[in-house]
Copies of this chain bind each other. A is one copy, B any other.
């Protein structure tokens, strides 16, 4: 024992500090947040930055939620149950019923944001080395949670030319092997805004059934569907009730990103029992967030309608505007509040960084207290795992008001013009 150790210690003299983990190295930096230091620097210089990069809605939280916050009257801010409050879970049953999702309170586990629901689903259902098939482009943090759990994301490409619709069954079957344990979808989709059709959802159902897979379905944008097309939840699919794990969050639907309240919902009791062990380890989801989320369910129809109408307008404003810019193209997203757009540049990572570092537009519309204006976008490459994909695409979020979206698009046009001039002069 001692001699083994001496050899080991002998090797150690080369290191001055302990190493970080391999998965720590593998973890991607957030594509949405990694330009943040450049944006901060631009703002420090006095530049106004229009954020088309983030999914933080600017619309208010429902009055009912804010009032619940004001009315909290407790002397001790104590733990809540690991599974979340019974009363909140019971209210959620009614909420889901409106979407024809029939669950009981025991099927629902409250999590710290949708993020924790994804992580706990992966930890509970997947072994290290197991594979999950995900249509790409995809929400970048799925990759991070997969790495955390030691699982592998295998992406199946969707393309801007086909409007990011679901690839054919054969494409999935090419990827399926003995390590494939799950399909993960986000519906309506972040970042593409795509909404899966009944036919596509049936196709997923058949694959899940045939190969006995889990179906992780992230449906946090169900409030934001603009086409009149039906919302088909994974929970609506018959015959795979034991396979479906629904991921949810109140962040987007109530503008409550900061309260960190999500949910993991499944009819599979064994999965629930396992997820609960992870939940017990982290003791409890946020107490105050649950009180706010519970009250927000009581929000008026009018609130939902106003928010919805606002996004309809913004969507039109953004999509029409992007497609009017020379060389830009985006399909019309059916849901969520994002779109993936193609820009006439070779490398949007460089272009987006350049917009923050080197571009600063000034005209008579620039606010008097600013030295100029620019835009921040999320380079789409961060939403693809396949190297080289999305290099000429960006994700644009329409969480700004129409006036700001219009101004941002004007700036995008000017930025592209300037950037092109620079390239030609190179």
A292 to B25, alpha carbons, bound, how many Å? 34
A115 to B28, alpha carbons, bound, how many Å? 23
Choose one: B33, B127, B256; the contact of A23 (CB below 8 Å). Answer: B127
Chain B residue nearest in CB terms to A283 = B115
Chain B residue nearest in CB terms to A259 = B77
Choose one: B33, B74, B116; the contact of A280 (CB below 8 Å). Answer: B33
Mask: chain A, 252-263; 1 = CB below 8 Å from B; 0 = not? 000111111000
Q: Is A416 an interface residue (CB 8 A)?
A: no
How many copies of this chain?
2
Q: Is A361 an interface residue (CB 8 A)?
A: no
Contacts of A284 in B (CB 8 A): 257-258, 260
Q: Are B282 and A116 within 8 A (Cβ)? A: yes
Chain A interface residue count: which class?
35 or more
A285 to B257, alpha carbons, bound, how many Å? 10
Give chain B nearest CB distance to A299 CB in angstroms: 13
Choose one: B25, B127, B259; the contact of A288 (CB below 8 Å). Answer: B259
A25 to B275, alpha carbons, bound, how many Å? 10
Choose one: B18, B21, B148, B274; the contact of A27 (CB below 8 Å). Answer: B274
Chain B residue nearest in CB terms to A33 = B280
Q: Is A144 an interface residue (CB 8 A)?
A: yes
Q: Is A271 an interface residue (CB 8 A)?
A: yes
Contact stretch, chosen from A54-62, A158-166, A315-323:
A54-62
Contacts of A176 in B (CB 8 A): 5
Q: Are A20 and B211 within 8 A (Cβ)? A: no
A285 to B259, alpha carbons, bound, how many Å? 8
Q: Are A17 and B255 within 8 A (Cβ)? A: no
Mask: chain A, 23-54; 1 = CB below 8 Å from B; 0 = not? 11101111001000000000000000000000
Choose one: B18, B150, B211, B243; the contact of A125 (CB below 8 Å). Answer: B18
Q: Are B268 and A286 within 8 A (Cβ)? A: no
Contacts A177-B4, A292-B77: A29 and B277 contacting too (C-beta < 8 A)?
yes
- Taking CB atoms and an 8 Å cut-off, the chain A residues in 270-326 that contact chain B are 270-271, 274, 277-278, 280-289, 292
Q: Are B21 and A242 within 8 A (Cβ)? A: no
Choose one: B75, B127, B177; the contact of A21 (CB below 8 Å). Answer: B127
Contacts of A12 in B (CB 8 A): 211-212
Q: Is A79 an interface residue (CB 8 A)?
A: yes
A402 to B70, alpha carbons, bound, how many Å? 33
Q: Is A82 an interface residue (CB 8 A)?
A: yes
Given contacts A17-B212, A18-B213, 12 further A-B contacts (CB under 8 A): A8-B177, A27-B277, A66-B74, A66-B75, A69-B72, A70-B70, A77-B259, A112-B116, A113-B282, A141-B281, A260-B284, A260-B287
Q: Which 6 A-B pairs have the closest CB atoms?
A: A258-B287, A144-B281, A24-B274, A27-B277, A30-B280, A17-B242
30 contacts across the A-B interface (CB closer than 8 A): A1-B174, A4-B177, A5-B173, A5-B177, A18-B213, A23-B123, A24-B125, A24-B277, A27-B277, A28-B277, A29-B280, A33-B280, A56-B79, A59-B76, A61-B76, A61-B77, A66-B74, A69-B77, A70-B72, A79-B257, A79-B258, A112-B116, A112-B286, A115-B281, A144-B280, A148-B278, A150-B150, A258-B286, A260-B284, A260-B287
